[in-house]
Amino acid sequence: MTTSPPRLDDFRQRISWRDVENSQDLKDLLKVCIREDLNPQKVRQAWEHDLTSEVCNLEGSGTAQLTCREPLILCGAQLADLVIGTFSCDQLKFQSHMEDGTKCEKGQPIGTISGSVKQILAIERTLLNFIQRLSGVATSSARFVSILEPYGVGLLDTRKTTPGHRLLEKYATSCGGSFNHRMGLFDRVLIKDNHLAAAGVDHGDSLINFLREVKKRAKEKLVEVEIDHLSQLLPAMEGGVDAVLLDNFTPSDVAQAVEMSENQIILEASGGINLQNISEYAQARPHFISSGAPVHNAKWIDIGLDWIK
């Protein structure tokens, strides 16, 4: 038995904040936030289009605090400076009290915003929306990870993300302790059942030969193949791929695949795995379990913006 499959560490990757803050997609997304909340015209700065603050004739400076109203794993606090900059709120300063990935208890402060009252009110909803949503994903991911860790099994996220928010939601899963699977259709090769069906490939030598050709053409890229029954496992291994996705296997079938593979290839279990059944799959000890549930089942976390002065 080998110590570990080749390229196992390539699956243990996490998106960093630097990957997020330098993203053009995020910059474009923040511009959409400006348009949907403030509908700005070119003659004024975006924040000046807050109708309520304008007719209330609000002036001067103030301070507000972002506060946890329930336990959470924080994600999104570092977006504050980007939101402030994109909304042209040059009279605001954000002071963070904790880092993304930190556990926060009810009542704890996340950070403080100080400066122009009008500018604070202009960015309030957008900033809260991001942090509440992303902290919900991070908190949900952490629940899955806490179940898997005792078994030495890693959690992988999926491409089942909100359109346009993938980078942020995958960053949020990483803050919760998940590893990040492929970003899209461009960075890894994942041969799914429909690829095999379209190629007229299923079992035996045809599967082996097909996978060998794919691996050759993919060069240095990670290559994973999805199988839906145990009879495909050994041909997949002989085909030379880096990983096998066990799709909709029962926990007992996953355990059998782990035994058959003798730790020579990366095994990922996926399909209908949630908080109710994940411990059964963890006991089978594949290298990874992937699930979209930490993202698409995550609830928004209750975080408030409380006026201090």
pLDDT in tens, 60-71: 999 999 999 999
pLDDT in tens, 44-55: 788 888 889 989
Collapsing DSSP to helix, strand or coil, 155 comes out as strand
The reported pLDDT for the residue numbered 54 is 84
**Domain CATH number, residue 55:** 3.90.1170.20
Judge contact between 29 and 165, C-beta under 8 A.
yes
Residues 248 and 121 in one domain: no
Asked whether residue 206 is assigned to any structural domain, the reply reads yes
Asked whether residue 2 is assigned to any structural domain, the reply reads no
Whole-number average pLDDT of the chain: 95
Q: Look at phi and psi of residue 204 and say left if phi exceeds 0, alpha if psi is from -120 to 50, else beta.
A: left
The C-alpha atoms of residue 33 and residue 85 are separated, in whole angstroms, by 13
Under the banding of pLDDT at 50, 70 and 90, the label for residue 2 is: low
Residues 221 and 275 in one domain: yes
Q: Which of 46-60, 100-114, 226-240, 294-308 has the lowest mean pLDDT?
A: 46-60
Judge contact between 117 and 102, C-beta under 8 A.
no
Q: How many CB atoms lie within 10 A of CB 61?
A: 14
Residues 21 and 90 in one domain: yes
Under the banding of pLDDT at 50, 70 and 90, the label for residue 1 is: very low
The C-alpha atoms of residue 61 and residue 238 are separated, in whole angstroms, by 68
% of the chain at pLDDT higher than 70: 99
- Give the pLDDT mean for 2-28: 92
Residues 288 and 154 in one domain: yes
For residue 42, is pLDDT > 70? no
Catalytic residues: 125, 160, 192, 226, 247
Asked whether residue 166 is assigned to any structural domain, the reply reads yes
The C-alpha atoms of residue 64 and residue 95 are separated, in whole angstroms, by 11
pLDDT in tens, 112-170: 999 999 999 999 999 999 999 999 999 999 999 999 999 999 999 999 999 999 999 99
pLDDT in tens, 164-178: 999 999 999 999 999
Total domain count, the chain: 2
The C-alpha atoms of residue 64 and residue 208 are separated, in whole angstroms, by 61
Asked whether residue 54 is assigned to any structural domain, the reply reads yes
Residues 23 and 56 in one domain: yes
What residues pair up with 193 in beta bridges, in sequence order?
Answer: none
Collapsing DSSP to helix, strand or coil, 245 comes out as strand
% of the chain at pLDDT higher than 90: 92
Asked whether residue 94 is assigned to any structural domain, the reply reads yes
Q: What's the start-to-end Cα distance of the chain, in Å?
A: 64
Residues 133 and 155 in one domain: no
Residues 183 and 118 in one domain: no
User: In 66-116, which residue ranges form alpha helices assigned H by DSSP?
Assistant: 79-86
Residues 6 or more apart whose CB falls under 8 angstroms from that of 293 comprise 140, 144, 273, 274, 275
Judge contact between 88 and 47, C-beta under 8 A.
yes
pLDDT in tens, 202-234: 888 999 999 999 999 999 999 999 999 999 999
**Domain CATH number, residue 283:** 3.20.20.70
Residues 161 and 268 in one domain: yes
Under the banding of pLDDT at 50, 70 and 90, the label for residue 3 is: confident
The reported pLDDT for the residue numbered 152 is 98
Residues 115 and 162 in one domain: no
The C-alpha atoms of residue 69 and residue 172 are separated, in whole angstroms, by 19
The C-alpha atoms of residue 267 and residue 130 are separated, in whole angstroms, by 34
Residues 159 and 188 in one domain: yes
The reported pLDDT for the residue numbered 44 is 74
Q: Which of 46-60, 95-109, 199-213, 252-266 has the lowest mean pLDDT?
A: 46-60
With CA atoms as reference, report the closest residue to 257 among 249, 71, 139.
249
The C-alpha atoms of residue 236 and residue 223 are separated, in whole angstroms, by 11
